[in-house]
Structure 1
Amino acid sequence: MGVYSGSFDPITLGHQNIIERASKMFDKLVVVIANNSEKKYWFDLKERKEMLEDLFKDYKNIQIDTYEGLIVNYLLENNLQIIVRGIRTVEDCGLELYFADGNLMISENKVDTVFLPAFKEYMHVSSTAAREIARYGGKVTCYVDQRIEKRLLERGKLYSPKKN
């Protein structure tokens, strides 16, 4: 069993691609929506969970869960051993290696990490970019699934710069 986590605010096409690919590697993949109380999200935890459940409802081996805290602790609490992480850039690689090493130390070598490189067409895709495009009512379907588009554009109106 593998675990893929993120804040998914919103879930992007890049996230979806990693989840779909990872779901083929494991009998069961748990997608954990992380919630950091220090972070300001566009979508609350319930909304983010609804989006992921809608996108993956036809995948029998994908389970959606939520967690507040260190993802390594989630794995330890649930007797799981593999974290799946996507890598888009060289910078991501360095940071993810740092986290993987930390997770190994914290877990006393019980939790390891598997890295999946992003497909070329998703290397530029991020939730931050999707939100910024939505703020201006732009074409977000290059970044998010069409089933997420309406929600994201509607939410973007709340964060749109005021017009003079």
Structure 2
Amino acid sequence: MSKKGLDEMQLQRKNKVGNQSFLILMYLLMLDAGLYGFGFRWVSYPANIMIILSICSAVYVVRLIKGNAYVGPSNEKEKPILRVVINIVVAISSATAIILFLKNTHFNNVNQIDSMAAPILFITSITAIIIVALTGIIRKIQNKDDKEKGH
């Protein structure tokens, strides 16, 4: 087993779950488009896609964690805190740049996001941060278990 990544069984499980999650995403988007074609609108445009993507992503991550195929064992030399801080800084910088770009364009008045989409985007961002934190915890537990087993 590679100390950097997942073993073969974990990779196969991850690929299987990923393929199934992609198919679920595709079917849910097709169902949403079909319902929209029949005049049924459960949430307006940007929010419905974000809800579907969030649900499929959550199912994907939960199934990977449950199947022990989310993270592999790591080396002791890694600095996960530095990596997390760098990722947060890059995400905040990217979000700020996108917001400033959209604020200065004429698209702001044409396609406004309704009142439901902003909380959904906020919840999605908070969920992503929680997933990053849980990943760190899972990795520490997994490495601790590997050390106890003698690997």
* TM-score normalised by length of structure 2: 0.26
Report the structure, 1 or 2, having the larger helix content: 2
**Larger relative strand fraction:** 1
Of structures 1 and 2, the one with the larger relative CO (CA 8 A, separation 6+) is: 2
Mark the structure with the bigger radius of gyration.
2
